[in-house]
A and B are shown apart, each in its own frame.
Chain A
C-alpha cells in the first residue's frame, strides 16, 4: 500500500514567486493535515481537512497560504507570494480515524527554500 506522497521534494524559488505543494494521502483516509517545520523550530500544525472540507485552519500563518482538497482526494498548498520566512519543510499527514486515534501517517515532506 502506498504511503503519503508529497511533491515536489524540494523547491527553490525567489521571494515574491508562487509555489504549489501537493499531497496525496493514503487511499481511503478522510483526514488530511498540513504541518510545517521552520529551521530550528518545532513542527507546527497548519490545517486539517475532513474529506474536502476544512475542519480547522487555525494554524495557517496568513492569507498568502491557500490550501485546497479537490474532491476529498489529494490536497494542494499554495504560497503566493512567497516570503523568506516561508522557508521550511512542509509535511502532509493523513489518518483514517479522528478523535483519540491519532496515528497520523506522514509524508517525507516538501522542502521549500525562498531566496
Chain B
C-alpha cells in the first residue's frame, strides 16, 4: 500500500487558472510533510515544510496546507514558469531515522 499518494498524476491548466494539488498520507506519527518542485532533468527543489494540522505556508503563487491525513498545494493564478512536477514527501516515526518517503508527484503544465 502506498504511504504517500498524490493526485492528480497530471494537470493541465490555462495561465491564470487556479487549482489545487493533493497529497494524502497513511503513515502514523507524522514528523513533517514536505513539498518539492522538480523541473525536467533537475533534482527536486525544496518549497515548504509543514509540521502540524492546520499549518499553512505561502510562497509567491503557492500555498501549502496540512490536515491530519492530507496536504494541499494551492496554486493561484499560475504562470507558465510554474510548470513542473510537484513532489510531496513525509517523514514519520518508524520511517527510518531521516529518510523521506515520497509520492510519485503531480506533473503540472500551465499553458499560456
Q: Interface on A for B, CB 8 Å cutoff?
A: 4, 31, 33, 35, 41-45, 48, 55-56, 58-59, 91, 93, 98, 100-109
CB distance from A87 to the nearest CB of B (A): 17
Known: A31-B98, A45-B100, A59-B96. A100 touches B31 (CB 8 A): yes
Q: How many A-B residue pairs have CB under 8 A?
A: 67
Instruction: Other than A4-B43, A43-B89, A98-B98, give 6 A-B pairs with Cβ distance below 8 A.
Output: A43-B44, A48-B99, A56-B96, A91-B43, A102-B32, A102-B49
Distance, CA A104 to CA B96, complexed state (A):
16
Nearest-CB residue, chain A, relative to B95: A45
Distance, CA A101 to CA B100, complexed state (A):
12
Distance, CA A47 to CA B45, complexed state (A):
19
A-B pairs with beta carbons under 8 Å apart, 7 shown: A35-B100, A43-B102, A55-B98, A101-B49, A102-B34, A102-B100, A103-B49
> Contacting A45 at CB < 8 Å: which of B32, B43, B99?
B99
Distance, CA A93 to CA B34, complexed state (A):
15
Known: A42-B103, A42-B104. A48 touches B97 (CB 8 A): yes
Contact string, B6-45, partner A, CB cutoff 8 A, digits 1/0? Answer: 0000000000000000000000000110101000011111
Known: A4-B43, A43-B44, A93-B43. A104 touches B102 (CB 8 A): no
Enumerate chain B residues within 8 angstroms of A56, measured Cβ to Cβ.
96-99
B111 within 8 A of A: no
Enumerate chain A residues within 8 angstroms of B96, measured Cβ to Cβ.
45, 56, 58-59
